Structures are given as C-alpha cells and as structure tokens.
C-alpha cells in the first residue's frame, strides 16, 4: 500500500519518445489487417459453410452425400436458371450471413467499402475449386450461379451489417 501512495505522490515520469513510438507502431501493426488477411478470413468462413451446404444441396453435381433432392426440387419448381441462382445463394450467400454476424466492426467496415470485390473474389475461387474437383460446369449455368452468389452475398452482408450497426447504437 505504501508503494502505491509513493507512486501517486511522485512526479510523473514519461518514457522517452523512441520507446513511445516503438510501442505505438507495434500496437498499430497488430491491429491493422491487410486486405489479403481479411479475404482469407472470410474465405475460410465461407468454405466451412459451403462444405456444410454440400451435405444437403449439391453444387454442379458435387455433393458430400449424393443427396440431390433439394436440387431436383428447385430445378422442377423454378427451372434451370433460377435453380442455379438459388444454389449460389445457398452455397455462398449463407456464408455471408455468418461473416456479417461474427467478424468485428473494423473488418465489417473494410468489406463494406468494396463488397462486390470481396464476394466476387470468393465466388471466383469457389468456381475454380469446383472445376479442380471435377464439377460439370457450363458457362450458362455458372453465370447464373455466380449472379445469385454475388448478389445474395452483398445483400445479406449489408443487411446483417446494418442490423449490427443499429443494435450497437442502442
């Protein structure tokens, strides 16, 4: 207790400028995320969600369970083009809901500045992954899939971001 009183009674001693700058630079470097790091973070989230969706909804005839009932339902009900858009929404759009809900506000604001860039990149990487794993991809179907994927991702992400922003302001 005496040490604390001595501390309060002593004149303030400031560290030298060099140490201040080193500590400040270290903290700023740790807090700053690069666009690549952010992309990899949200790509990882999308990958996990995408793999889970492959349990019940195949993408370009790729499935983890060979369960094509959901695909056939959408295909019969809405036709091939809307079906492909719905598949893009399910595979990538649902991941964007989770991304918007769990990443921090700093990362939300970074993605908010360029949402089409981030979600187009994610969509492109998934299409490339499907090709690598031998999916049967046709230009017409992949265009509708990508359209559903990108548009739903941007819309879902922005909705969740706004909800979080409004809840934070309360």
pLDDT digits (tens, 9 = 90+) for 85-143: 999 999 999 999 999 999 999 999 999 999 999 999 999 999 999 999 998 899 999 99
Please state the separation of Cα 105 from the chain's center in Å. Answer: 13
What is the reported pLDDT for 39?
Answer: 95
pLDDT at position 43 over 90: yes
Instruction: With H, G, I as helix, E, B as strand and everything else as coil, classify residue 65.
Output: coil
User: Quick one: pLDDT band at residue 1, thresholds 50, 70, 90?
Assistant: low
Sign of CA dihedral 68, 69, 72, 78: negative
Report pTM: 0.80
pLDDT digits (tens, 9 = 90+) for 65-87: 888 888 889 889 999 999 999 99
Which of 115, 121, 123, 95 has the alpha carbon at shortest distance from 162? 115
Provide mean pLDDT across the span 8-36: 75
What is the reported pLDDT for 12?
Answer: 67
Residues contacting 157, CB < 8 A, separation 6+: 96, 97, 99, 100, 111, 115, 119
Domain limits, the chain: 34-169
Angle (CA) 40-85-93 rounded to 5° is: 35
Tokens of 46: 């999308």
């Amino acid at each position: 207790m005496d040490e604390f009183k001595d501390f309060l009674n002593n004149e303030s001693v400031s560290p030298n400028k060099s140490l201040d700058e080193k500590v400040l630079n270290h903290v700023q470097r740790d807090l700053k995320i690069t666009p690549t790091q952010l992309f990899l973070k949200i790509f990882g989230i999308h990958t996990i969600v995408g793999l889970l969706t492959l349990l019940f909804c195949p993408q370009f005839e790729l499935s983890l369970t060979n369960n094509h009932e959901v695909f056939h339902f959408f295909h019969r009900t809405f036709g091939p083009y809307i079906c492909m858009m719905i598949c893009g929404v399910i595979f990538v759009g649902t991941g964007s809901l989770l991304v918007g809900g769990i990443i921090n506000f700093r990362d939300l604001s970074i993605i908010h500045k360029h949402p089409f860039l981030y979600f187009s990149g994610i969509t492109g990487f998934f299409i490339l992954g499907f090709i690598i794993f031998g999916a049967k991809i046709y230009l017409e179907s992949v265009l509708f899939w990508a359209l559903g994927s990108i548009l739903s991702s941007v819309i879902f992400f922005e909705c969740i971001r706004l909800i979080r922003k409004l809840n934070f302001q309360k």
